[in-house]
Every structure is written in structure tokens, then in C-alpha cells.
Structure 1
Amino acid sequence: MRTLVSKINWPILIVACATIGLAPLFPEPHVWEKLRMLVQGNLTRAIDWFDLVMHGTPWVLVVLKIWGTFGRDAE
């Protein structure tokens, strides 16, 4: 998994976070709305879970890439 994430270029991840990760910007990004719904226990429909995965994936990939680049066991 680490090698797969390390092969993704930083510019691609930044563009993915700025577009898919934050879409739509107004009234609030879907990823923020879905995380709030998850904490409140209101994430019940399949479309909500799909939205959370779709809009959250770029952010998870960035965290994994940062962890792999700057983590304790980074080479």
C-alpha cells in the first residue's frame, strides 16, 4: 500500500484535494458535512457513505503520503 501511495505525485493529490476533496465549496464542503453527520450519527443513507468516501479519499491519500514521506520509518 505504501508503494502505491508513494507513486502518486504531489501535484495530483493537491489538485484532487482542491477539487474533489472540497467540492462543492458553498454552503460547505461535502466532506465536512459528511464528517459532521458521521459524528452526530446521522450518516444512514448509502449516498451519504458514498459521498464521504468520494470526497474523503484525496485527504486520506495526502495523510498517507505525508506519513510515508516524513514518518518515523521513512528512509
Structure 2
Amino acid sequence: MTAKPLPVAPLPFKRLLSRAQAAYYIDMGTSKFDQLVTDGRMPKPLRIDSRLVWDVRQLDSAIDALHDADSELNSWSDL
């Protein structure tokens, strides 16, 4: 008797995202996302062969950095 292969369930999320998916992930339009990448607030893409993709973890880190920078600007001690 041979073992049946286990069914492959879809992953709950993708690690690498296309430009449109990355923009959607951070709740921005693609034009605004491109602007954030250009000015360095969002990470540059990874190139895999001819595809450009964004790593979710790098996007999360960039969002955390935006939050940290905003917290420094809006500190109660500044009042």
C-alpha cells in the first residue's frame, strides 16, 4: 500500500508581493506606493529573474519605521 500525498492547503498569505499587491497590502494606490518607494519610505523591490517583488517583512519594517518617526514628531514632551 502506498501512502497518499497530503493535500496542499493554500498559505494564509504570500511572503513576496507584486507591486499592486504590495500597494494594496499597505492600503495605498500604486502611484502613491511608487512615490514611497522612490523617496525611501518603502523598500525597493527584489528582482527575481524578470519579476519585481516586495518582501512582506520589509514592508512591515518600513511601516514600523514610519510609525516610530511619527511618534518622535508627536511626542507629548514637545508640547
Q: Tell me the TM-score normalized by structure 2.
A: 0.28
User: Which is richer in helix?
Assistant: 1
- The structure whose residues are more often strand, as a share, is 2
Larger Rg belongs to: 2
RCO greater where, 1 or 2, for CA within 8 Å and sep 6 or more?
A: 1
What TM-score, normalized to structure 1? 0.30
